[in-house]
Amino acid sequence: MPTRQVDVSVVVPTLDEELSLPRLLASLRTQTVLPRELIIVDGGSSDRTCELVRAHAAEHRDYDVRLIEVADSRPGKSRNIGTRAATSDIVACSDAGVILEPSWLEALTRSIRDGTHRVAVGTFVPEGTSLFERLAGLLLIRPPERVKVLYAGGVSIAFEKAALEAVGGYPEDVYPCEDAVFLRDLVSAGIDVGRASDAKSLWRPRPNVTALWRQYRSYAWGDAQIGLGAKRHLLRAGFWLLCLVAIFGVFGTMARIGGSFALAAYLLRPTLTAWSTTRDVRTFLLGPLILATKDVAQMFGYVEGRIHRIRGGARDFTKR
């Protein structure tokens, strides 16, 4: 059990999280240090989320637990509200859908508490139970050291309240990718962002093709709204287009063989690597399916997002 408390407020946005929130709350209880307070900002849940928070507050009195209810609030707005309500000068943010490793809070805030950085981002590690979830984590989640800082702070970030105010907070009209905009604004403002590689949170990948499609379609749609990753999306689409034209076009047998080989190598090489971990023959069916679903969803979402942006629509995916 924790033996001391640090002067840090933890802020978590929620929306219909009754299934996942208990795991997060339980992991907060196992931290090597406790925060001064936990602030849950609920964006209008229709399930038992708020009831669970109230029960947690009544049961655990060794740190303050506050519930702030806001109708129709997305994560950026909820984090702003929670941060501005915090009584500590340092705020750590996470999401309800993760499990925090015991040293998460201590490691994430260490460099801020000792004055080395004003902002720190942790790492997230995929944690799947089914074969589909495990493969999605193996195939789609990069090692922490290869994740750019703009993409690293969605479920694990800590900052001085003054740093948030210096850039006007999280954008409240952007979802998803509001965390990437926030970090981009911090870097542009010259605020030093450190990496807390040993502050780990366990993140559960999507459990099926439909959920995976929606996730990566929304991510790419968000990229289009904030002007991020255009080259990466163009290269992906160009590769798929060239392969499909070669395979199904009128350029002859050699073109079909070349296109088929390139696409097969693209899908099977990471699948083979994943199989060395799973040792499950179903990997050779699910691996290419997961990779293709992610790519096509991103291509569709990015094009859809660009068209939506040109037309001047809202930057919130749920209100497109």
For 254-264, write each residue's pLDDT tens digit: 999 999 999 99
Residues 161 and 188 in one domain: yes
Q: What angle do CA 224, 229, 234 make, to 5 degrees?
A: 90
| 275-311 pLDDT tens trace | 999 999 999 999 999 999 999 999 999 999 999 999 9
Q: pLDDT digit string (tens) for 45-67?
A: 999 999 999 999 999 888 999 99
Q: Do residue 217 and residue 290 come from a single domain?
A: yes
Distance of CA 221 to the CA centre of its chain: 15
Q: How many CB atoms lie within 10 A of CB 60?
A: 15
Helix H or strand E segment including 10: strand 9-14
Q: What is the pTM of this model?
A: 0.92
Query: Backbone dihedral region of 73: left (phi > 0), alpha (psi from -120 to 50 degrees) or beta?
Result: beta
Is 81 a domain residue?
yes
Q: What is the DSSP letter of 142?
A: P
Nearest to 229 by CA among 170, 298, 290, 175: 298
CB 40 within 8 A of CB 68: yes
Query: Are 59 and 129 members of one domain?
Result: yes
Per-residue pLDDT, averaged over 155-175, amounts to: 96
Residue 215 located in a structural domain: yes
Q: How many domains does the chain have?
A: 2
Q: Taken in order 49, 50, 55, 57, is the CA torsion positive or negative?
A: positive
The pLDDT of residue 1 is above 70: no
CATH number of the domain within which 42 lies: 3.90.550.10
pLDDT interval class at 29 (50, 70, 90)? very high
- What residue numbers bound the domain in which 258 lies? 209-319
Count of beta carbons in the 10 Å neighbourhood of residue 58: 9
